[in-house]
Amino acid sequence: MTNNNPLLIKSTAPNQAPLFGDIKTEYYLPAFTAAIEEARANIDAIKANTDAPTFENTIVALETASETLSSVGSVFYNQLAAMGGDDLHALTSEIGPMNAAFSSDVNLDADLFARIKAVHDIKDTLDLTEEQATLLDDTYKGFVRSGALLDDDKKSRLREISQELSTLGPAFMQNVSKSAESFEMLLTGDDEIAGLPESALEAAKHAASERDQEGYLFTLDYPSFGPFLQFADNRALREKIWRAFSSRAFEDEYDNCDNIKKIVSLKDERAKLLGFKNHADYVLAERMAGSPKAVTDFLDTLLSAYKPGAEKDLQDLQDFAKGYDGSDDLRPWDFSYYSEKLKKKLFNISSEDFRPYLPLSTVLGGCFTHFEKLFNIRFEENNAYPKWHADVQSFDVFYKDSGDFVGTLYADFHPRSGKKPGAWKTCYRNQGLFGGKVERPVVAIVCNFTKPTADRPSLLTHGEVTTLFHEMGHAVHALLSDVTYQSLAGTSVKWDFVELPSQLQENWCFEKETLDMISGHYQTGEKIPQDLIARLNNAKNFMGGWAGLRQVSFGLLDIAWHTTDPSTIDDPAAFEDETWKDVTLFPRYAGPMSTSFNHIFSGGYSAGYYSYKWAEVLDADAFEAFLENGLYDQKTANAYKNEVLSQGGTKPPQILYVNFRGRDADPDALLRREGLK
């Protein structure tokens, strides 16, 4: 099967993109087996080399030794998130341990590490570029942090831990998806759908028809769940869907409580084996923050600003609800509903006001124009690329002036069964060395936006637009990468810096010049009216204390999970309650958030969720440069592109930022933007 396996043969698709149309589930296991065999042979050749270890014959050779395995793995794990399905998830029980065993074999190989150390020991005598020096340091530290200095008994236990963790993360993610998909709410009565806007009703009717049902079907996909909580007058049904969403993977057949305890216990044990106090200590040693204390101090500083604001937000909402319809006992399932009503009263604005002006195709075209104006690139749809689903779109990206090829962009916008919730950017291949030459990247953004119906296109809320710009910020970071080595390319930066390029892009979504680019009424072509843009900006910080407290609470929960001795945690729900007792303003009325917290238990954000707020400080300060010099000022945009985006992880992020801005970030920039200072 390996001779004609589309995962293993050289791709004939543009930019050597994966041959999605030819890939079948049964191809993955033999592809992983063959790719690991190839990588082992390459690494054996490094060790067998009788020449003295050098940067080229050891460090670069190791960097490129597992190219095929990386390609196969990127396809499998990206499809696991974008497509899902029982067949793919079943494979994780074999593929995860297989990958983990190979990684352990490499990272714990004493002979291989000896060659790496030999090069590292003489690094000051080598004539290395800054990027080469970074690759050498990262390679050496990566081996040390993976256990290369441990004794044999500890290495053996580390292998076992890696094996177990390799299946627990995917299992956690699948449980969240399966639990969410098990809930459906089919409504037929007028009293059940009262208050819902036409867009939500049409989408719900379309969802029901897709399942051969009559009525209005609501699910826990955010485009369905979110508007229901915002607009449905029926409080009992709001409570029903809120409780279902908040209880995903808790006390049902997909319960994640045991998975959580296993994951945090294994990560804590691994950290201690490697000489760290806990998992957070281990993770943060290689982040901008540096330590758990720095993170908690940062979050506590924000907490002191956000909590009073959140308490005022809640009191204002309670006062409004009482005057609006006599409600005097606000619960979490009421928050979005009355917030929408109060926002309408104060600012004469609703999230639904924007939908007619924001058809997805128009927004996407305008988003591309935005990046063209900033970075002199153009996007050209190319249907010659194989795709993993009919919804997926594919684009070539070029530099406008030179015509040079920048990379490939896939866009996958709508929910479907098996697909992970949320939105993310990923790479099927990073920019850098591949097959002996520096190649351009294959990048994808994956979202869960409102689906089109028979009568209208996909119409976005302003919030969904900011999500698109956020993920495109990540994508352009990867596309504009200009390095030599894939492991340092694009978004391969310290985790608390990676959200700067994404969050920075959200700022343009409030500017008239940009909104004019991305808007056009789906029936008339009319741009978003000036007065609506003004109201949008007037309402920009509405419930800002509440939103800020929410993000801080997630960061504090993450750090608590990864600094607490896991042996003291018996009940994840009780642990979350205790952690949040002085942070949240409502008691827990359903399951704990932890059982569906994909970011930290099946994603890469464990001990790193704080990075969203950390990077907000950077993005607020960075956007002030554009406000000072012009939204599309080429000098500012070029400095940002050349000093940040193109550099990837070749330099420390602090240096990248100062090279762009000319100084460190002003920590007050975020609070200024949010009207708190």
Active-site residues, by number, are 471
Q: How far is CA 512 from CA 29, 238, 563, in A?
A: 51, 35, 45
For residue 561, give both structure tokens.
Answer: 């999970």
Amino acid at 133: A
Let me know if 236 is exposed, middle or buried by CB neighbors in 10 A (0-12, 13-18, 19+). exposed
**Cα Rg, the chain, nearest whole Å:** 25
Q: Are 318 and 334 in contact (CB under 8 A)?
A: no
For residue 81, give both structure tokens.
Answer: 């998130």
Distance CA 287, CA 294 (A): 11
Distance CA 293, CA 299 (A): 10
Distance CA 415, CA 371 (A): 26
Classified as helix, coil or strand, 456 is: coil
Q: Are 270 and 365 in contact (CB under 8 A)?
A: no
DSSP code of residue 254: T
First to last CA, the chain: 63
Instruction: Give the number of C-alpha atoms closer than 13 A to the C-alpha of residue 480, restricted to the C-beta side.
Output: 27
Q: Which of 217, 221, 267 is nearest to 245 (CA)?
A: 221
Q: Are 82 and 388 in contact (CB under 8 A)?
A: yes
Q: Are 490 and 427 in contact (CB under 8 A)?
A: yes
User: Reduced to 3 DSSP states, what percent helix, strand and coil does the chain have, rounded to the nearest 5?
Assistant: 60, 5, 35
Q: To 5 degrees, how large is the angle CA 616–CA 573–CA 543?
A: 35
CB atoms within 10 A of CB 269: 16
**Cβ-proximal residues to 367 (8 Å cutoff; 6+ apart), any chain:** 468, 469, 472, 517, 518
Distance CA 540, CA 516 (A): 18
Residues paired with 377 in a beta bridge: 399
For residue 308, give both structure tokens.
Answer: 């009073």
Q: Are 449 and 460 in contact (CB under 8 A)?
A: yes
Distance CA 465, CA 515 (A): 10
Q: Are 451 and 415 in contact (CB under 8 A)?
A: yes
Q: Are 367 and 518 in contact (CB under 8 A)?
A: yes
User: Given its phi and psi angles, is residue 10 left (phi above 0), alpha (psi -120 to 50 degrees) or beta?
Assistant: beta
Q: Are 538 and 501 in contact (CB under 8 A)?
A: no
Classified as helix, coil or strand, 265 is: helix
Residues paired with 379 in a beta bridge: 397
Instruction: Give the number of C-alpha atoms closer than 13 A to the C-alpha of residue 301, restricted to the C-beta side.
Output: 13
Distance CA 455, CA 440 (A): 39
